[in-house]
């Protein structure tokens, strides 16, 4: 099993394909399994799927969970693998880590892809989702895992795989990942974002309203609105999601 060794344990990761490296960053609790349907991208790109510390097969458990610490962890993973520059693909709160990485280490960032991303939690609905997640991590993590997995797929086998993987999460990490995501903001630094950016949203996703922040703060970025889907674009509309990623990266490569 490939692992990145840190002072506080090992980070488990998987690789597939060759070419431009993409590191995928998952939301609280979900681990790398949420990117199951992105594996076909390995036909064109080098994919890195990791379980952030406190998640999945990773034995590392962070002493303190912060978005900044997770960005440092991603940097250490890139260094361990030997990657000078990476594309970051963050899903939901994983996008907070991706943004923090791009803002803190622009020289190591080749591009940024956010699915259901937000620069800070602004809507009451998104705030409620975070608070609800924190509540159920404390009261009934099994219920939370089943609810999230069911929202992501109707495939019973994949749903069971997601649930099993999520329940490997360290509960303290899971709770504080939600908390840190809820309180994270990079709005005041967005104007300094210097890397190519692709924002992907489902047309039915309430998080879409966070797109206004990017429109206000940034002049150049691309947006893809995927029809007939809510937040779970990487899973429920993975063909469209993968197509948008491929188109964006090939377009950026042509510009260089």
DSSP the chain: --EEEETTEEEEEEEE--SSEEEEE--TTT-GGGGGGGGGGGGTSEEEEE--TTSTT-----SS--HHHHHHHHHHHHHHHT-SSEEEEEETTHHHHHHHHHHH-GGGEEEEEEES--SB--SHHHHHHHHHHHHHHHH-HHHHHHHHHHHH-S-HHHHHHHHHHHTTS-HHHHHHHHHHHHH-B-GGGGGG--S-EEEEEETT-GGGGGHHHHHHH-SS-EEEEETT--S-HHHHTHHHHHHHHHHHHHHHHHH-
Q: What is the pTM of this model?
A: 0.96
Predicted local confidence at residue 256, as pLDDT: 52
Q: What is the pLDDT along the chain (256 residues), one digit of tens a residue?
A: 799 999 999 999 999 999 999 999 999 999 999 999 999 999 999 999 999 999 999 999 998 999 999 999 999 999 999 999 999 999 999 999 999 999 999 999 999 999 999 999 999 999 999 999 999 999 999 999 999 999 999 999 999 999 999 999 999 999 999 999 999 999 999 999 999 999 999 999 988 889 999 999 999 999 999 999 999 999 999 999 999 999 999 988 767 5
**In 3-state terms, what secondary structure has residue 11?**
strand
pLDDT of residue 12: 97
Torsion of CA 60, 235, 22, 145, to 10 degrees: -10
231 three-state secondary structure:
coil
Per-residue confidence (pLDDT) for residue 208, from 0 to 100? 87
């Amino acid at each position: 099993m490939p692992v990145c060794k840190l002072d506080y344990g090992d980070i488990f990761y998987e690789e597939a394909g060759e070419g431009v490296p993409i590191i995928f960053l998952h939301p609280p609790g979900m681990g790398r399994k949420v990117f199951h349907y992105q594996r076909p991208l390995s036909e064109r790109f080098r994919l890195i799927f990791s379980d952030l510390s406190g998640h999945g097969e990773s034995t590392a458990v962070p002493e303190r969970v912060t978005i900044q610490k997770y960005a440092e962890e991603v940097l250490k993973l890139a260094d361990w693998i030997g990657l000078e520059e990476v594309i970051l693909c963050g899903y939901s709160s994983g996008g907070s880590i991706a943004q923090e990485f791009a803002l803190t280490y622009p020289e190591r960032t080749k591009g940024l892809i956010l699915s259901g991303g937000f620069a800070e939690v602004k809507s009451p609905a998104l705030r409620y989702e975070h608070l609800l997640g924190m509540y159920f991590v404390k009261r009934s993590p099994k219920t939370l895992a089943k609810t999230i997995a069911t929202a992501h797929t109707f495939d019973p086998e994949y749903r069971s795989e997601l649930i099993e993987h999520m329940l490997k999460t360290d509960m303290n990490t899971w709770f504080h990942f939600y908390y840190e995501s809820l309180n994270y903001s990079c709005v005041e630094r967005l104007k300094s974002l210097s890397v190519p950016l692709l924002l992907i949203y489902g047309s039915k996703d309430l998080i879409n309203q966070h797109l206004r922040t990017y429109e206000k703060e940034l002049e150049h970025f691309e947006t893809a609105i995927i029809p007939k889907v809510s937040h779970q674009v990487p899973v429920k509309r993975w063909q469209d999601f993968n197509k948008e990623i491929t188109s964006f990266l090939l377009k950026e490569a042509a510009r260089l």
